[in-house]
Amino acid sequence: MRKLLVVMLAGLFTCGSAYAADTKTDMKKTDAMNPQQTKMKDCNDQAGDKKGDDRKAFMKTCLSAKPAKKESKMAMCNKKTAGMKGDERAKAQSECMKG
């Protein structure tokens, strides 16, 4: 009876650790890159084959740069229809916002 209990407990511990190991690897596969990792990858790709101090200076500048502010669709459409009036402007605004 005692042997059976020991074998069952050993089996549970073995299965539990195997399950835990599988979930850790699955999490690594499914985790998306965070924004900082994405920025680091992009800067690294842009650095190309720069070496030494040139690379360090480039990476520092690239990583500290703020992302370009994206213009809203509404602002872009307003600029496109700036000189138009009335129904013509309304129609152009509508088409711009859809596209």
Give per-residue pLDDT as tens, 22-42.
Answer: 555 555 554 688 888 988 999
pTM: 0.39
E strand or H helix that includes residue 9: helix 2-30
Residue 60 host element (H or E): helix 52-64
Give, as one character, the DSSP assignment of residue 1: -
Percent of the chain at pLDDT exceeding 90: 36
Distance, in Å, from the CA atom of 51 to the CA atom of 97, rounded to the nearest integer, reads: 46
**39 contact partners, CB below 8 Å, separation of at least 6:** 63
Long-range contacts of 23-28 (CB under 8 A, 24+ apart): none
Q: How confident is the model at residue 67 (pLDDT cuts 50, 70, 90)?
A: confident
Provide the pLDDT for residue 71.
Answer: 75
Kindly report which listed range (32-36, 45-49, 91-95) carries the lowest average pLDDT score: 32-36
Which comes out higher in pLDDT, residue 48 or 67? 48
- How far apart CA 55 and CA 64 sit, in angstroms, is 14
